[in-house]
Chain A
């Protein structure tokens, strides 16, 4: 058991993913123009077994974007050039926010979607990583079945205590009272 875990460990830890950022053309821009090439935004190492991840490198997008400018953040498949990801605004990369990358992985630990969010800067790192595993669907919570034994009786029911087992302390009390209280008259 342990051995197999140890064997699997290297595979589980050594996951790295590069997140790219694309600048989207503004609304006044003609639609037909090609998108600018993606720029690597962050390099993230993550471990599925412990659901943790760290940012190994992070370069915020440079360039003078106005706050409403849309940027898309996502993963790019190196082989097919296929892209998937989310959209956010340029303002999210401002200094005063804490950035968080969310990595969505399936049961096998393969990454399939990425999320990006910001929050107020508190203590801790400027860039955070969260790994979210796909949850297993809720199952109906069944009632416990009534199990009968061969005699048709409920299994595991404790045998009834005898009269003495149940009331010995009463008898003992009675006797004690008799002994302690009864002796004085004679």
Chain B
């Protein structure tokens, strides 16, 4: 077995480093959820990508500042762009009959081609921030034929309103407000631009101040103040500022949602309405069409704790009055309303978890009604907001499709009551992820543990019993054989057909548990294209905790969830997502023998401290503080499961360099901004001894400094400042390898001794603990934001360094042989070195396009990559999370233990059959010939 492993290791190391994705593997072994983040209510709409287009796309600017166009047919992303600015602040507008959409985010206003997402123009506003954005639909009562101009409200030192040319983005005029009021929003009518600001007097409340501006010159035409100080305490109390409608509205409420006040912008009258009186209203939402040509009708949605209802109001433009037209009845549970306008008509679509119904704004008769089929993925979730498209023919709605954001973070399109597609947008907030085993493997591991701990006879009885119990699955297994055989023969792999999570032959089916910054957790099955198996809200599990950055740790069958703002630990069942009480956990605690003592370590108050026992107590047993006030920005321990197949590295002349293998290695990264230094410290986490320390100067410490450690080597990347004095600047990748001794065939002072301890004294001659460190630095073309290493079951396969390149939206696997620190410098490798696979050192590593794991996918906003072993030694599972979710399998030394897709099993079988038939035919002939030969001497 040992020899076998060595032979495999040798074979693996001899393979040339040109592993790439095979064409027939692409899109089969990998999956990608291109996500945008949770869509926002006011920046999501259906729109034709160009005038005269029959189909429309869903445009959305999400909470994550991602501008995306989604195809309503299948839910695929047509294009997306990442915008600047703090999360959830962006604005997105589009005009009728336009081929662009205009966004405002942070200090940048940009127009994007609606069909393909290319940038048309961009205007950067210096230090100012865009507060609101509107398009001028009409000018002097006439529709603008070509590009519609944008009006933008900026908050800088003093608020400004600017009109930007729709074609170029240049400012046509600027109106500056020097009154010191807080800029709030803009609204436009066909003839006027209204600039709305909040005037806050000394004593509480805000007055709404409306300034009318001329669209042509930007001069102030009129100004009036609405006495809203009784109700409006903060911005959230202003519910709606209608844009581009024939009758722009301004609606606000008070703190307790006790009253609704509506003003038709441009008039001074305020209409007051009372919500339905039976229950306190939690939320009021106003829905109105934003088309100039549509009827001035609007709908007010009242959300209470137990149900929701709505009132429809009509605006009389001549008299400037608002009157209630009709009410939609209260329905229990949560629901939402969407607005659709076609020509002058306005339709409201009511979406509840069970039903979709359409009414016209002018009368309360229901035009169409569709029951929504129950979906497991949308179970226990309610619609939060959405957009709809309605087809109305001769007074009845014949079709409706609604893109709805559900409360569980799924963005789904429901077409006539049926789920057309759904996008797991909540995964865009993922901040941490962990691998979890499938339940079957967990139970087997538990049974084996039980057998291992009892005496031989009872263990034997236990095993026999287990085997008898397993017999109950035997008939089912027999039945599955024909299917599996056929599936194998005709090449349609099982991966696509497996519905529920179950173990497969090659161990490609695993669970990844993902936690998001919004306090959501989901279990994804990586074997079936990353489908969400379960999805829970941690706020419901632990209502009094606000989860911001949950960290996950896998244990036997459950996940430990911890968070910074949370003292305790939550235990979540990794296969169902159910909460487990801590009492059930105790039984699974790892048992340590008497002599063993656990030392845990963590970052406490900027210092790395080791503690006796699993708990962080008051007194550390060791402490590491970097010098000169350097700040520890991260630490990377060696993975707990990191098998090493060979303890040495065989050189070309058959001598061996012994690896320094210490399971307790931890690489600490520290940085100091004032001196532009980044330092790396290699510690032994059981004793706190410092094994190696390196510092780099002229480092831009504001850029990410990722690092990883595996086996006997570690790697990190940093950015040398552009102002640096050194001979070369830019992105660098450093790789260091640890050996027991610099001399081949020498094991250092420890020799071949079986055990060594960093705590107990050693009686060896010479210094024991220190490794011999070989390192090399390379320039790379792009910044690395995250790095990790592939993992396999036995560690026989060569490892691959997986790096995330954010600027090219890629994940790249750099083969180990490229970054071997033993590459000869300044000379060609000798014949012996070449036989090891070493090539001459080059200061620059060109990232080979073949190393890209994501081929045609664009993986954006990756926060982290995790790897896990599969059932095959050759293959490692990779899972990347962040904005996008991406998963694949890598085989750094090629898939040496599994047949590829190109292998024709039918042809092989046919060959065997043909040979057999041939033998049957030839055998009598040969026999006769032999007999004849015996007779004719």
* A interface with B by C-beta (< 8 Å): 24, 27, 31-32, 35, 67-68, 70, 72, 74, 82-89, 91-92, 94, 96-97, 100, 102, 104, 106-108, 110, 112-113, 115-120, 122, 130, 132, 134-143
Known: A70-B612, A87-B622. A27 touches B597 (CB 8 A): yes
B763 touches A70 (CB 8 A): no
Q: Mark each residue of chain B from 688 to 702: 1 if its CB lies under 8 Å from any CB of chain A, else 0.
A: 111011111100000
A136 touches B697 (CB 8 A): yes
User: Is residue B201 contacting chain A, with contact meaning CB distance below 8 A?
Assistant: no
B760 touches A91 (CB 8 A): yes
27 pairs, CB–CB < 8 Å, chain A vs chain B: A24-B619, A70-B612, A82-B625, A85-B688, A87-B610, A87-B687, A91-B761, A92-B760, A96-B763, A106-B627, A110-B628, A112-B628, A113-B624, A117-B689, A117-B762, A117-B767, A117-B768, A120-B762, A134-B695, A135-B693, A135-B695, A136-B697, A137-B695, A138-B776, A140-B728, A141-B826, A142-B727
B221 to chain A, nearest CB (A): 65
The 8 Å CB contact of B767, one of A67, A100, A107, A112, is A100
Q: A70, A96, A139: which has the most chain B beta carbons within 10 Å? A: A139
The CA of A138 and the CA of B844, in the complex, are separated in Å by: 14
For residue B769, which residues in chain A have a CB less than 8 angstroms away from its CB?
115, 117
For residue B734, which residues in chain A have a CB less than 8 angstroms away from its CB?
137-138
Known pairs A70-B621, A97-B762 / 20 extra A-B pairs, C-beta < 8 Å: A27-B613, A74-B623, A84-B623, A87-B622, A87-B687, A104-B690, A107-B695, A112-B625, A112-B626, A112-B627, A119-B749, A119-B768, A132-B693, A138-B694, A140-B843, A141-B825, A141-B841, A142-B728, A142-B843, A143-B843
Known: A120-B765, A135-B694, A138-B775. A88 touches B623 (CB 8 A): no
B610 touches A139 (CB 8 A): no
User: Is residue B679 contacting chain A, with contact meaning CB distance below 8 A?
Assistant: yes
A179 to chain B, nearest CB (A): 49
- Closest B residue by C-beta to A141: B825
User: Is residue B732 contacting chain A, with contact meaning CB distance below 8 A?
Assistant: yes
- Closest B residue by C-beta to A70: B621
The CA of A70 and the CA of B620, in the complex, are separated in Å by: 12
B690 touches A115 (CB 8 A): yes
A124 to chain B, nearest CB (A): 12
For residue A136, which residues in chain B have a CB less than 8 angstroms away from its CB?
694-697
The total of interchain contacts (Cβ-Cβ below 8 angstroms) comes to 148
Known: A88-B759, A140-B777, A143-B843. A108 touches B628 (CB 8 A): yes
The CA of A117 and the CA of B769, in the complex, are separated in Å by: 8
The CA of A106 and the CA of B607, in the complex, are separated in Å by: 17
The CA of A132 and the CA of B692, in the complex, are separated in Å by: 9
The CA of A24 and the CA of B759, in the complex, are separated in Å by: 13
User: Is residue B256 contacting chain A, with contact meaning CB distance below 8 A?
Assistant: no
Closest A-B pairs by Cβ, 5 of them: A112-B627, A137-B696, A118-B761, A86-B688, A92-B761
A67 to chain B, nearest CB (A): 8
Q: A35, A83, A96: which has the most chain B beta carbons within 10 Å? A: A83
- Closest A residue by C-beta to B597: A27
Q: Mark each residue of chain B from 715 to 742: 1 if its CB lies under 8 Å from any CB of chain A, else 0.
A: 0000000000011100010101000000
User: Is residue B778 contacting chain A, with contact meaning CB distance below 8 A?
Assistant: yes
For residue A87, which residues in chain B have a CB less than 8 angstroms away from its CB?
599, 610, 621-622, 687-688, 759
A80 to chain B, nearest CB (A): 11
B687 touches A86 (CB 8 A): yes
For residue B599, which residues in chain A have a CB less than 8 angstroms away from its CB?
87
- Closest A residue by C-beta to B611: A31
A41 to chain B, nearest CB (A): 15
For residue B607, which residues in chain A have a CB less than 8 angstroms away from its CB?
84
A94 touches B690 (CB 8 A): no
Q: A94, A107, A113: which has the most chain B beta carbons within 10 Å? A: A113
A72 touches B621 (CB 8 A): yes
User: Is residue B766 contacting chain A, with contact meaning CB distance below 8 A?
Assistant: yes
B612 touches A119 (CB 8 A): no
B763 touches A119 (CB 8 A): yes
User: Is residue B214 contacting chain A, with contact meaning CB distance below 8 A?
Assistant: no
The CA of A103 and the CA of B525, in the complex, are separated in Å by: 50
The CA of A145 and the CA of B706, in the complex, are separated in Å by: 31
- Closest B residue by C-beta to A145: B727
A113 touches B621 (CB 8 A): no
* B interface with A by C-beta (< 8 Å): 595, 597, 599, 607, 610, 612-613, 617-619, 621-628, 679-680, 687-690, 692-697, 726-728, 732, 734, 736, 749, 759-769, 775-779, 825-826, 841, 843-844
B750 to chain A, nearest CB (A): 10
B617 touches A134 (CB 8 A): no
A134 to chain B, nearest CB (A): 4
A97 touches B688 (CB 8 A): no
For residue B595, which residues in chain A have a CB less than 8 angstroms away from its CB?
68
Known: A92-B761, A119-B768. A139 touches B687 (CB 8 A): no
B625 touches A106 (CB 8 A): no
For residue A94, which residues in chain B have a CB less than 8 angstroms away from its CB?
761
The CA of A130 and the CA of B689, in the complex, are separated in Å by: 14
The CA of A14 and the CA of B770, in the complex, are separated in Å by: 28
For residue A140, which residues in chain B have a CB less than 8 angstroms away from its CB?
728, 732, 777-779, 843-844
For residue B763, which residues in chain A have a CB less than 8 angstroms away from its CB?
96-97, 118-120
Known: A136-B694, A137-B694. A119 touches B732 (CB 8 A): no
The CA of A9 and the CA of B479, in the complex, are separated in Å by: 86
For residue A68, which residues in chain B have a CB less than 8 angstroms away from its CB?
595
B765 touches A85 (CB 8 A): no
For residue B726, which residues in chain A have a CB less than 8 angstroms away from its CB?
139
A81 to chain B, nearest CB (A): 13
A89 to chain B, nearest CB (A): 5
Known: A24-B612, A27-B597, A135-B695. A119 touches B767 (CB 8 A): yes
For residue B760, which residues in chain A have a CB less than 8 angstroms away from its CB?
67, 89, 91-92
A108 to chain B, nearest CB (A): 7
- Closest A residue by C-beta to B623: A84
For residue A122, which residues in chain B have a CB less than 8 angstroms away from its CB?
765
A31 touches B767 (CB 8 A): no
The CA of A74 and the CA of B694, in the complex, are separated in Å by: 21
- Closest B residue by C-beta to A144: B826
For residue A107, which residues in chain B have a CB less than 8 angstroms away from its CB?
695
The CA of A67 and the CA of B757, in the complex, are separated in Å by: 13
B677 to chain A, nearest CB (A): 9
- Closest A residue by C-beta to B625: A84
- Closest B residue by C-beta to A89: B759
For residue B692, which residues in chain A have a CB less than 8 angstroms away from its CB?
135
The 8 Å CB contact of A85, one of B597, B613, B622, B766, is B622
A118 to chain B, nearest CB (A): 4
B139 to chain A, nearest CB (A): 60
The CA of A130 and the CA of B769, in the complex, are separated in Å by: 13
B848 to chain A, nearest CB (A): 19
For residue B776, which residues in chain A have a CB less than 8 angstroms away from its CB?
138, 141
The CA of A84 and the CA of B625, in the complex, are separated in Å by: 7
A120 touches B764 (CB 8 A): yes
- Closest A residue by C-beta to B843: A140
For residue A70, which residues in chain B have a CB less than 8 angstroms away from its CB?
612, 621, 759
The CA of A96 and the CA of B680, in the complex, are separated in Å by: 35
The CA of A96 and the CA of B624, in the complex, are separated in Å by: 29
A119 touches B679 (CB 8 A): no
For residue A84, which residues in chain B have a CB less than 8 angstroms away from its CB?
607, 623-625
- Closest A residue by C-beta to B766: A119
For residue A102, which residues in chain B have a CB less than 8 angstroms away from its CB?
689-690
B761 to chain A, nearest CB (A): 4
B719 to chain A, nearest CB (A): 13
B612 touches A106 (CB 8 A): no
